[in-house]
Amino acid sequence: MFSAPYSQLAQIYDRVMVHVNYKMWASYVKNLYQFAEVKIEKVVDLSCGTGKHISFLLNDNNSFTGADLSRKMVLAAKANLKKNNRTSFLVNDARNIALKNQSTDVLLMLYDSINYLLEDLEVESLFNEIYRVLTPGGIFIFDYVTEEGLKECFDGYYESDSWDGMAYERHSNYSQKEKLQYNRFNLLFNGQPFFEEHVQRIRPSAEWKKFIKKSKVHLCAEFSNFSNSKPNIKSQRIHFVCRKNL
């Protein structure tokens, strides 16, 4: 049975991504908060997934909202954070953010979620919304996976696992001609088969900078992988920090 991305994968996503060091990633992102020119009181993650990183991003003086296009991922995030009363969640499309103007100090879009925007108009819509929702001096932090990263780690990649009536296979391939990454999941849950295809567009750094320049936010920092170094041709992941001027 063909399913929308993350509609079925959500229930085993944390097992599939058990290798991800969310604590380290959250610590790295929090260090990037230094580029904000406003007191950080409200943080919103536009692609929160199952929310495993959220507890590491919380500070005593801020509230956190997790948003995601996938309802099933939001439900999983709520379950993971059910004991935390400083978080809220909503099902939301980042191209049309359900938040008031100038209402948020930090917006996040992590784990190459931005690569899921396949069309240029979608990226432009996102940046228009980012500008609208950010408070003056607020920042937008996002990362994207590079072509180098895909070729090194995920072109021709395969993995599988099974446990307690659950099983999955993942096949990943990169089309250099199309500049598209395909991640295909064959899922089996208690004898019921499902299939999901996830597609990401891989854009070079120069294209992302064109989108930012065209928008009203400004690029104030870019870093290679999880370092304080500038990106280079070997960078597999790049973090950008954009700010809305005061």
Give residue 156's domain range: 149-200
In a domain, 232, yes or no: yes
Band (30; pLDDT cuts 50, 70, 90): very high
Examine the domain organization and report whether 42 and 56 are in the same domain: yes
Does residue 241 carry a pLDDT above 90? Answer: yes
In a domain, 52, yes or no: yes
In a domain, 4, yes or no: no
Does residue 62 carry a pLDDT above 90? Answer: no
Residues 158-202 pLDDT 10s: 999 999 999 999 999 999 999 999 999 999 999 999 999 999 999
Q: What is the mean pLDDT of residues 234-243?
A: 97
Does residue 15 carry a pLDDT above 90? Answer: yes
Examine the domain organization and report whether 131 and 76 are in the same domain: yes
Q: With 0.95 as the threshold, say if the pTM is over it.
A: yes
DSSP sequence for 141-166: EEEEE-HHHHHHHTTTEEEEEEETTE
In a domain, 19, yes or no: yes
Examine the domain organization and report whether 43 and 130 are in the same domain: yes
Does residue 41 carry a pLDDT above 80? Answer: yes
CATH number where 183 lies: 2.20.25
Does residue 98 carry a pLDDT above 80? Answer: yes
Examine the domain organization and report whether 195 and 231 are in the same domain: no
Examine the domain organization and report whether 239 and 184 are in the same domain: no
In a domain, 235, yes or no: yes
Q: Name the percent of the chain lying above pLDDT 90.
A: 91
Examine the domain organization and report whether 181 and 73 are in the same domain: no
Examine the domain organization and report whether 14 and 134 are in the same domain: yes
Band (1; pLDDT cuts 50, 70, 90): confident
In a domain, 2, yes or no: no
Residues 128-138 pLDDT 10s: 999 999 999 99
Burial class (CB in 10 A: 0-12, 13-18, 19+), 239: buried
In a domain, 115, yes or no: yes
Examine the domain organization and report whether 141 and 104 are in the same domain: yes
Q: State the pLDDT at residue 59.
A: 80
Q: State the pLDDT at residue 83.
A: 82
Examine the domain organization and report whether 134 and 32 are in the same domain: yes
**240 or 150, which is more confident:** 240
103 and 132 Cβ atoms separated by less than 8 Å: no
Examine the domain organization and report whether 127 and 222 are in the same domain: yes
Q: State the pLDDT at residue 85.
A: 82
Examine the domain organization and report whether 118 and 194 are in the same domain: no
Examine the domain organization and report whether 137 and 223 are in the same domain: yes
Overall number of domains in the chain: 2
